[in-house]
Amino acid sequence: MGLSPEALISRVQVNIPFPYLLGPYGPLFLERGLNPEIGLDARSLSRYPPRILKGVARRFLAAGRRLTVHAPFQDMAPGALDDLVLAATRKRLRQVVRWLPVFRPAALVCHLGYEARHYRHARGRWLARAAATFRELAQAARTAGVLLVVENVFEQGEDKNLFLEVLERAGAANLKVCLDVGHLLAFGDGDYEGWLAALWPHIGLVHLHDNDGSHDHHAALGSGRVPLKFILDYLAARLAKPPLITLEPHAEGSLEPSLAYLAQIWPWE
């Protein structure tokens, strides 16, 4: 349909690590009216006292901003076969879930965390453990009125069916998929049509960024080879309203061109 970049701002999220909001990016986000997807990484959860986290949440909620939260992902193994690693992962993820009533996000993003090189010979055990992890998190998120979405990173090919199996086994209506379109090209198989065909009814959030297929550059939209228009048109043909959408350009100066490009290809009213 096409929108102006300014009109698009209220419709999307923009990712930002929590510590950045304590510096100049905090006022900048508020001034621009940006809706942040806040990365609550493990270091932030351990380092900052409650008053700091509550203060950031309070400022954005008072400004009427819609929040989403990204859970820690480094070292996280939601389906770990090692009981100690699994216990540590669940402990850390429970920690971020406890902050949901404070941040009141529309969604909480977690990585699915499957890598075939580690788990292909124990796929069934991994699946049972991952489903149990996300079932518990989804139940806690539901109490806070929050959508929980699981994101693809290194999954490829038939791994897309793992998302369906985790959702089915978890049995939680508020558990959906976060489709990261940049990861699918940089780390996955780039089979956008196949992944969309399998997962579109379950997609609750989409991460948008670009790359050339050689690395996870998180570049400005339209600067790489991710078929962004095809992806959005595919979803718009099936969904009357867009899922939550987060822009994830990481380079300084890449947000404005990303908004401009997305405004040109935006397919919804």
Domain count, the chain: 1
Average pLDDT over residues 123-139: 98
**Signed CA dihedral, 32, 66, 175, 76: sign only:** positive
* Residue 123 domain-assigned (yes or no): yes
How high is the pLDDT of residue 85? 98
Residue 208 lies in a domain: no
Distance (Å, rounded) from C-alpha 226 to C-alpha 218? 11
CA distance 130 to 133: 5
Q: Cα dihedral sign for 187, 232, 172, 88?
A: positive
Residues 6+ apart with CB under 8 A from 262: 5, 8, 12, 208, 221, 228, 247
Asked if residue 268 belongs to a domain, the reply is no
pLDDT tens column, 88-117: 999 999 999 999 999 999 999 999 999 999
DSSP-assigned letters across all residues of 167-227: HHHHT-TTEEEEEEHHHHHHTS---HHHHHHHHGGGEEEEEE-B--SSS---BPTTSSS--
Residue 98 one-letter amino acid: R
In a domain, 239, yes or no: no
**pLDDT tens readout for residues 137-154:** 999 999 999 999 999 999
231 falls within a domain: no
* Cα–Cα distance, 148 to 45 (Å, whole number): 19
Is 50 within the bounds of a domain? Answer: yes
For residue 40, the domain's CATH number is 3.20.20.150
- Give the domain range for residue 78: 5-203
Note whether residue 140 is domain-resident: yes
Task: Determine the residue type at 83.
Answer: D
Please give the Cα distance from 200 to 193 (Å, whole number): 10
pLDDT single digits (tens) 154-199: 999 999 999 999 999 999 999 999 999 999 999 999 999 999 999 9
SS3 string, 118-160, reads: HHHHHHHHHHHHHHHHHHHHHHHHHHCCCEEEEECCCCCHHHH
249: in domain: no
Q: What value does the mean pLDDT of the chain take?
A: 97
